[in-house]
Amino acid sequence: MSAMWRPLLRHASRRPKPPSLVARGLSSSSGFGASLDSIVKLDKLKDLGGADVMELWQKGLPADSVGACMTVETYTAVRERATQAPIFIYPLDRSTPDEKAFTVLVSQLTLPPPTTASPDLVASFALAEEARTLAQPSPLLTVSFYADLLESHAVVLVRGGLAESPRDGSRLEIAEARRLLQALLRFYSLKDDFEAGPLAFSTGQFGVEEHVDAERDRDAKLRELEASLEEASAEEDGDGDKTTK
Global pTM value:
0.78
Tell me, what's the pLDDT at 241? Answer: 59
The residue ranking higher by pLDDT, 238 or 105, is: 105
Query: Where does residue 75 fall: left (phi above 0), alpha (psi -120 to 50 degrees), or beta otherwise?
Result: alpha
Q: Using one digit for the tens of pLDDT, what is the confidence trace for 17-52? A: 333 333 332 233 334 467 888 888 888 888 899 999
Average pLDDT over residues 106-117: 80
Secondary structure E strands in the chain: 65-71, 87-93, 102-110, 121-127, 141-146, 155-162
Q: Using one digit for the tens of pLDDT, what is the confidence trace for 159-214? A: 999 988 767 777 899 999 999 999 999 999 999 999 999 999 998 888 888 888 88
Tell me, what's the pLDDT at 36? Answer: 87
- Determine the angle formed by the axes of helices 174-189 and 72-84, rounding to 10 degrees: 80
Most trustworthy range by pLDDT among 69-73, 113-117, 209-213, 236-240: 69-73
The CA–CA distances, whole Å, from 7 to 87, 188, 215 equal 11, 22, 22
Cα(53)–Cα(22) distance, rounded to whole angstroms?
28
The residue ranking higher by pLDDT, 123 or 28, is: 123
Cα(182)–Cα(221) distance, rounded to whole angstroms?
14
Amino acid in the structure at residue 92: L
Query: Where does residue 177 fall: left (phi above 0), alpha (psi -120 to 50 degrees), or beta otherwise?
Result: alpha
Cα(202)–Cα(88) distance, rounded to whole angstroms?
8
Cα(96)–Cα(110) distance, rounded to whole angstroms?
34
